[in-house]
Structure 1
């Protein structure tokens, strides 16, 4: 069962998520709030596997919450579910630590699939934005290796697979390693590169010429 916390100011939309997600999937709703500040003050958020987060809410909003959660060691995977579709907003949310980005209007089945994907270490991006996002990754690539950052061969291999969009279980399956092992290796990669998220790690690896996609 996947535990989910919801930060969404639209009461009807929030209550629909609370009602239909558990009915249609193996989901436990641990709590919900209508502001980002209230969510970050709720201990149940930190005990959840996934946080469904709107960006436009009263107060500081979702982007602030993502940046604050980036400072926390034990935090849920963040699935942004919002009406914002601007390229800049998408990139900022993913760079700062969101694992997925869906536009409101997505059906419950699609939201459930996204919850499952991000809960296992995957990255989910709205199809209309995905091409531009991966093109951004490619534009970061350089042809000359400038800094090895002390990454091992295994760490470079894992970073490359993450950059190609594989989730932690998929990376583990490809390399014959457990999901837990992949998560630990990713933590080491983040520390060596001085980053906090998958997107930052891949972008850094591409810019330094450590990996190619």
Structure 2
């Protein structure tokens, strides 16, 4: 049974493995910057396929230093944002949330068409095609509903999409979102490769 609801989405304080097959897999079906995404199937009911995003939110003893621990407040923000934006035809609806031990699990519809980057790599994309390609937004891991934010505090995401003010640790607003959107458009037109893409960028300190 669900403990409570957030904007109509049930929050469960139970082990999702009791309700879904596939979440126990050693390796995620897909990897994201903050956690793994698993292709799962309901154990009962309609037995539909779903995608479950798994976040580690509590650091464990003797944990691999390479393991990413997602700040709990960012997961809570993602949950709130997804529920607040629904229903929207281009935003995935959150089916439910499971909070269990050291992890938080987000249950969403399964979209098995691959990533936008892979689609652009496999297909030549023109501006006229974009409206038919962008079917849904699913990753809200570092989104903010505030009109402004302090980038020195909320520094997150992929560096390739950072606006200059983010790199400088300044207060940011919607202009930083427009910059990131522009990078996505250029990435689509460039076969899935973002401008100035460099494999070593993530290893450098952009702030100094």
TM over 0.5: no
TM-score relative to the length of structure 1 = 0.31
Structure with greater proportional helix content: 1
Max radius of gyration: which structure? 2
Structure with greater proportional strand content: 2
